[in-house]
Amino acid sequence: MPAESSSHSTNTHAAYLRDWRHYAGWCRRQGLEPLPPDAPRIARYLTAQAAPDGDNSTASLSVATIERRLAGLAWNFAQRGFDFDRHDNHIAEAITAIRRHRQPPVAKEPVGTQELLAMLGTLGHDLRGLRDRAILLIGFAGGLRRSEITGLDLRPGDSDDGTGWIEFQARSALVKLDGRSGLQTIEIGRGTSERSCPVAALESWIRFSRISRGPLFRRILRDGKTIGSERLNDRHVARLVKQTALAAGIRADLSEEARAASFAGQSLRSRRRTMRPPSI
């Protein structure tokens, strides 16, 4: 749809600009010039991004992110009037080497019903707790990606960057996801216990937050009482899952470091769930 296409184009453009700033900064630290494009230099840059704590100042990047940065550089070179062959042998060999030596990512632990209830028990009963309880329950019941959770609006057409919305029914809530493959509907049934009912959690969050339109899940200001207008970043979901899993003592047999690496947003989505949440 036009709004989605425009939003996607804007986000891609912003990402490509960030890619250029990162590459130019790396060149400065290496005493190199970013222009004109030079395949061996760019191959060295891409290799550095795969090395944890090396030229990349944080952690090693995934192959998908490195290839996205390569696409961003190609776009930036073209904007500056330079020809650049993304398939040059130096770059192709660098990408092949990165793929060959890439360690498989740490598999994320799936969250089960009892683990979820323990995680919910670590949350407070203030606005922040109501919001985060709704996030965990709807993410688990719907098997949603973290971007699908934070992309929800209260109603269709509420915002330009929304990727879905909620429709309440007598016995369920419908999560409408408007993605590249078209409109998808996920039905989330009401639970027999309010403690574990995702629909009741959503209704409580909406009622007490007094949100009438726009992003469903938003920032809460430091006073704990004021709801911001900004949509939550999807990284909040990953942090929430990790923090509540650790606080609940899940997988206490592992070291704290291993436990921290074992849980993230995808822990909620072992599969798409369309049935009624288990009662307790």
Helices 39-49 and 2-30: angle between axes, nearest 10 degrees: 100
Could you list the beta-strand ranges (E) of 85-222: 152-153, 164-168, 172-179, 182-189, 218-220
Backbone angles phi, psi at 6, to 5 degrees: -65, -45
Residue 175 binned pLDDT confidence (cut-offs 50, 70, 90): very high
Model pLDDT, residue 180: 73
Question: Could you give the count of Cα atoms lying within 13 Å of 5 in the half-sphere of its Cβ?
Answer: 3
CATH superfamily of 113-268: Intergrase catalytic core (1.10.443.10)
pLDDT, tens digit, for every residue of 249-276?
877 666 566 656 666 555 565 544 433 4
Model pLDDT, residue 257: 61
Contact 227, 220 (CB under 8 A): yes
Contact 117, 247 (CB under 8 A): no
Domain locations in the chain? 2-101, 113-268
Task: Name the residue among 228, 278, 238 with its Cα closest to residue 262.
Answer: 238
Residue 168 binned pLDDT confidence (cut-offs 50, 70, 90): very high
pLDDT, tens digit, for every residue of 82-101?
998 888 888 888 888 888 77
CATH tag, 2-101: 1.10.150.130
- Give the Cα separation of 14 and 199 in Å (integer): 35
| pLDDT for residue 54 is more than 80 | no
Model pLDDT, residue 85: 87
Task: Name the residue among 40, 41, 59 with its Cα closest to residue 102.
Answer: 59
| pLDDT for residue 3 is more than 50 | no
Contact 81, 75 (CB under 8 A): no
Q: What does the block give as tokens for 255?
A: 């070291």
Model pLDDT, residue 177: 92
**DSSP for 184-210, written as a single string:** EEEEEEPPSSGGG-HHHHHHHHHHHHT
